[in-house]
């Protein structure tokens, strides 16, 4: 069963200036598509072929894991943005952020720091455990919190291909600007389930 690259719910220029149309074209249209194409080639005719993407990420390793998890991570990343999203969390998620990190600003600073200090390629994650306790995690390369029995809630891609066109090597600026396009409604819904 082939996995398709879904159409993004916004126009290629909708996330400007935080993310340019050229970055969307390359990062989603080329990099993400390539991970999905390679995943489809690798899983065809294997025990993984009829599994959903979540299950493949949980059960695979090596090259298949790298491509499946990169596909998963990129869909999770691109579908959390919106040009007119909710700019601050509320409800249960806001309460958990305030209780664990002191304030939304403190949380954002810690999240950005985790992204800044991750050496090399990877992802910074917000995840929770079965009790709803939040964790900020650094993940190298294709890592995903699901493999540690944590549930992903939000992620910022810190592979260089995510920011090099728009920010050159200024990863910190890129991370800071992503708050402008993050739709907290999406994040709240992920936490509420």
Residue closer to Mn ion, measured from CB, 93 or 142? 142
Least distance in angstroms from the C-beta of 159 to Mn ion: 4
Q: Least Å distance between CB 28 and Mn ion? A: 9
Cα–Cα distance, 83 to 151 (Å, whole number): 25
Count residues binding Mn ion (CB under 5 A): 3
- Which distant-in-sequence residues (6+ apart) come within 8 Å of 30 by Cβ? none
Q: Which is nearer to Mn ion, 127 or 158 (CB)?
A: 158
Tell me the pairing of strands 151-157 and 122-128. Answer: antiparallel
Report CA torsion sign: 79, 159, 88, 148. Answer: positive
Residue 161 is classified by DSSP as: G
Residue 157 contacts Mn ion per CB under 5 A: yes
Select 156 or 159, whichever has its Cβ closest to Mn ion.
Answer: 159
Q: Name the packing angle between helices 91-101 and 104-117 (round to 10°).
A: 70
To the nearest whole angstrom, how small is the minimum distance from the Cβ of residue 111 to Mn ion? 17
Query: Under the criterion CB under 5 A, does residue 35 sit at the interface with Mn ion?
Result: no
Instruction: Work out whether 159 is an interface residue with Mn ion (CB under 5 A).
Output: yes
Q: How many Cα atoms sit within 13 Å of 46 on the Cβ side?
A: 13
Q: Are 191 and 183 in contact (CB under 8 A)?
A: no
Q: Which is nearer to Mn ion, 28 or 191 (CB)?
A: 28
Q: Is there a contact between 186 and 178 (Cβ–Cβ < 8 Å)?
A: no
76 is an interface residue for Mn ion by CB under 5 A: no
Least separation in angstroms between CB 156 and Mn ion: 10
Q: Quote the CA–CA distance of 61 and 94 in Å, as a whole number.
A: 35
Residue among 97 and 182 whose Cβ is closer to Mn ion: 182
Comparing every residue's Cβ against Mn ion, the nearest one is: 157
Q: Which stretch binds Mn ion (CB under 5 A): 38-46, 103-111, 141-149, 152-160?
A: 152-160
- Provide the binding-site residues for Mn ion, judged by CB under 5 A: 157, 159, 162
């Amino acid at each position: 069963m082939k996995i398709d690259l879904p159409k993004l719910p916004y126009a290629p220029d909708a996330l400007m200036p935080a993310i340019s149309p050229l970055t969307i074209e390359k990062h989603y249209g080329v990099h993400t598509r390539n991970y999905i194409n390679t995943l489809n080639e690798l899983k065809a005719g294997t025990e993984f072929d009829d599994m959903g993407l979540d299950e493949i990420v949980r059960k695979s390793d090596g090259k298949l894991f790298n491509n499946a998890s990169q596909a998963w991570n990129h869909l999770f990343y691109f579908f959390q943005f919106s040009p007119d999203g909710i700019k601050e969390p509320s409800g249960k998620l806001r309460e958990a952020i305030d209780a664990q990190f002191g304030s939304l600003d403190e949380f954002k600073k810690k999240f950005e720091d985790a992204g800044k200090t991750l050496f090399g390629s990877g992802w910074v994650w917000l995840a929770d455990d079965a009790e709803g306790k939040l964790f900020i995690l650094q993940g190298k390369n294709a890592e995903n919190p699901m493999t540690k029995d944590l549930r992903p809630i939000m992620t910022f891609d810190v592979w260089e291909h995510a920011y090099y066109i728009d920010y050159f090597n200024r990863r910190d600026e890129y991370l800071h600007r992503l708050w402008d396009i993050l739709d907290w409604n999406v994040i709240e819904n992920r936490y509420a389930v």
